[in-house]
Amino acid sequence: MSITVYPNISFGISPADDGWYKCCMPNNCSDPNTNVITFNIFRWAQIADMKVSLPSDITALPQIYTVHAIKIGSNGHHLGSAAWYYKSGTTYRHLTTSLCNKEPGFNCAIYSTGVLLDISSGTYDFSLTITWNGENITSGLLSQSSNNGDHIFVFSMVFGPLSFHPVKRARIKTITGKLNA
């Protein structure tokens, strides 16, 4: 079954229109025999998914894994900015390759311009590849001491033409790493 939704938005989607909507057929949503369809309407872009490609053997060191932020939406690439952050406690640190590679036991490669996956749906993959030697990092930029040993990464982007009020989006991904292999 396929369904197409045509929202009655004559002047485009405003920031207030962003969000989840639902359609109940054939009756109202309180009827248990009603089919409920949910859909997300958003301006310009959305981070549809964040996923991690883990190594096949998570006990082997170093561990190399890639965090992917999948952007969908406008097929025009109106990217204002895209950045990866590392969260430690309540602090967010902007990750750059040179900053990340200065940390003991850690290095990374950041692809913040996005790799085009499907132009028709505006799908881009923004990735962060991390090599971690298994050390418990207790100080510095990538300190795990406030995260119960986990690595917490945040992807943030600003998307849309500057003249049409671009949107800001962010998603978080937590990666639990073994403290020793």
Give the pLDDT of residue 78.
75
Model confidence at 146: pLDDT above 60 = no
Whether 32 and 111 share a structural domain: no
Whether 86 and 171 share a structural domain: yes
Q: Round to whole Å and give the CA distance between 108 and 112.
A: 12
Q: Is residue 134 part of a domain?
A: yes
pLDDT band (50, 70, 90) for residue 179: very low
Q: Is residue 61 part of a domain?
A: yes
Whether 100 and 141 share a structural domain: yes
- Average pLDDT score, the chain: 74
Whether 32 and 113 share a structural domain: no
b/e map 13-49, b = 16+ CB within 10 Å = eeeeeeeeeeeeeeeeeeeeeeeeeeeeebbbbbbbe
Whether 53 and 119 share a structural domain: yes
Residue given tokens 């406008």 in the structure block? 74
Domain enclosing residue 27, as ranges: 1-41
Which tops the pLDDT comparison, 10 or 127? Answer: 127
Whether 25 and 73 share a structural domain: no
Whether 101 and 168 share a structural domain: yes
Instruction: Please report how many Cα atoms fall inside a 13 Å half-sphere around the Cα of residue 169, on the Cβ side.
Output: 26
Q: Is residue 164 part of a domain?
A: yes
Q: How many domains does the chain have?
A: 2
Whether 51 and 73 share a structural domain: yes
pLDDT digits (tens, 9 = 90+) for 5-42: 666 666 666 666 777 778 887 777 787 778 888 777 77
Instruction: Determine the average pLDDT of the residues in 138-163.
Output: 69
Q: Is residue 122 part of a domain?
A: yes
CA R_g for the chain? 20
Q: Is residue 181 part of a domain?
A: no
Q: Is residue 129 part of a domain?
A: yes
Whether 17 and 69 share a structural domain: no
Six token digits for residue 42: 């958003």
Percent of the chain with pLDDT over 70: 68
Which tops the pLDDT comparison, 162 or 62? Answer: 62
pLDDT band (50, 70, 90) for residue 69: confident
Whether 73 and 143 share a structural domain: yes
